[in-house]
Amino acid sequence: MIKLIYFDFNFWRIDILRLSLSYSNIPYEYERILRKDWINKKKNYPFAQLPTMIVKDKVYSHTHSLAHFCAKKSKLYDSDDYKAIIIDQVLDWANEITNKIAPSIRAAMREKDLKKSERLRKKFIKNDLHLWFFYLESLLKRSSSEKLFFTDKFSIADITAWRVIYWFTSGKLDLINASFLNKLPLLKKYYEKISCLEYFSELSEFKEILSSN
């Protein structure tokens, strides 16, 4: 049995693992750690970060590594090296854009400095928001012939791209309006199609992500 551990809120780092396993009906256990308990628990995890996964009494971390493992188990990775490297780039893109927006989130959540957060968020919007989604759209353009899936076959790359685009267009990020995607019509169309895939949108995890605050 695979055990996944994350905080008590939904985020792409954990959701891509849950969605991937659920897609292939692989059972998993999910432990949600309360933020207030983290300070005492942090030291118990190999890189002092979440998500973490436990399989056969061994502990593993880092989103990309865990996604690779779960996607392989779920048949959502690719045995072709040239497809696998496309998937890996989408996972790395998700990490990169997260690292770009993270300082503005950290300023609000940890430092409780809303002025600083606003300043950093505006800087992110000016320098990185369009640029990093443009990079993703360009990757889709050059990787996919049908423009339906990154590797022309549903994979963890599509789950990841969908989850991160959802995050940025959901209105949950202050000052970021979903309309930024209008300037990237190919990516917007791709996102809308992935959102409507029956075998994906019917997953209980998908519905839970959409219904959470």
Ligand X SMILES: N[C@@H](CCC(=O)N[C@@H](CS)C(=O)NCC(=O)O)C(=O)O
Q: Using CB under 6 A, list all residues that contact ligand X.
A: 11, 13, 42, 49-51, 62-64
| CB nearer ligand X, residue 40 or residue 211 | 40
| CB nearer ligand X, residue 30 or residue 195 | 30
Q: In the complex, what is the shortest distance from the CB of residue 141 to ligand X, in angstroms, rounded to a whole number?
A: 26
Q: Which amino acid is at 142?
A: R
DSSP class of residue 128 equals I
| CB nearer ligand X, residue 13 or residue 163 | 13
Q: Are the beta carbons of 73 and 24 closer than 8 angstroms? A: yes
Q: In the complex, what is the shortest distance from the CB of residue 109 to ligand X, in angstroms, rounded to a whole number?
A: 10
Q: In the complex, what is the shortest distance from the CB of residue 64 to ligand X, in angstroms, rounded to a whole number?
A: 6
Q: Vertex 5, ends 200 and 201: CA angle to 5°? A: 10
| CB nearer ligand X, residue 5 or residue 129 | 5
The residue number whose beta carbon is nearest to ligand X equals 49
DSSP class of residue 110 equals T
Q: In the complex, what is the shortest distance from the CB of residue 108 to ligand X, in angstroms, rounded to a whole number?
A: 14
DSSP class of residue 6 equals E
Query: How many other C-beta atoms are found inside a 10 Å radius of the C-beta of residue 204?
Result: 10
DSSP class of residue 125 equals I
